[in-house]
Structure 1
């Protein structure tokens, strides 16, 4: 169920600098999650599947299963925060919130769209985020495709 946010009159579109700051912060959090998942994957491969140390990482199944776990965990991290309160931990630090144009929390489908297009945006040498500099509403490609926007929240008084 979508949640309607307050303070809609006091927000403004987020610029590139704030977004990059939040992305760096969240990137470090996702990296920490990935380290734990990789360690657990290694434990399963070595101890449960009893793969010899010299064979770890050589089979296609091992590589694909780890990559799938990493991608799914990154999506779950972002989708959890985006759909609940509109803010990841990095976004909270930079006072950013993702929301629909109407001021509601985003849906899981919109979170998936944002996540997938964010990957494309970064793969295109960041062009999807540099788009903010040219768009009148300061929207990135993930914002445009998912019908969402990232806003700056006012300081708490």
Structure 2
């Protein structure tokens, strides 16, 4: 179900524009705030009330834990329903290029490439004919906007 070439698929979903991606990403920052705060509080407690700057090794561990927790949020959301909290209001979805739910490995690869190429991965959507980011190309996924449900006939 590659949306650009399949007319039936285009009736249901189309590649999402950069603006929709940015709206979803902004909205997805909201669940990240408590995640970061709780993780920081746990590491502050583990370090006897001292900040991790005073313990560089612990700081690296804290960042790794935050990265994994954020990755779990995104990949589990994408795998369970194709959407994060930030994607739902705008009917956005991550799918494999065949239109099926993406595999776990592909979703973690998508997340990793997005973090390794911040900004660039999204800007790539402006030059790709199918609006895929670098992370979508690497993971063989697509980020689509679903058409609104049909209104019932009155």
**1:45: how far off?**
2.5
**1:29: how far off?**
1.8
Match of 2:4 in 1: none
Say whether residues 1:118 and 2:114 are aligned partners.
yes
Partner Cα distance (1:134, 1:29) in 2: 30
Q: Which of 51, 57, 71 in structure 2 is aligned with 1:56?
A: 51
Partner Cα distance (1:135, 1:67) in 2: 32
**1:127: how far off?**
2.0
Say whether residues 1:144 and 2:137 are aligned partners.
yes
Q: Larger relative CO (CA 8 A, sep 6+): 1 or 2? A: 1
Partner Cα distance (1:101, 1:95) in 2: 18
**1:90: how far off?**
0.4
Counterparts of residues 36-47 of structure 1 (less than 5 Å)? 36-46=38-48
Unpaired stretches in structure 2, ≥5 consecutive residues: 1-7
Partner Cα distance (1:62, 1:101) in 2: 39
TM-score of the superposed pair, with normalisation by structure 1:
0.83
Counterparts of residues 1-157 of structure 1 (less than 5 Å)? 8=9, 9-46=11-48, 53=49, 55-57=50-52, 58-122=54-118, 126-156=119-149, 157=151
The range that moved more, 37-46 or 74-83, is 37-46
Tell me the SS of whatever aligns to 1:62.
helix
Tell me the SS of whatever aligns to 2:143.
strand
**1:121: how far off?**
2.4
Partner Cα distance (1:56, 1:17) in 2: 37
Unpaired stretches in structure 1, ≥5 consecutive residues: 1-6, 47-52
Q: What's the RMSD between the two structures over aligned residues? A: 1.6
TM-score of the superposed pair, with normalisation by structure 2:
0.85
Partner Cα distance (1:96, 1:127) in 2: 20
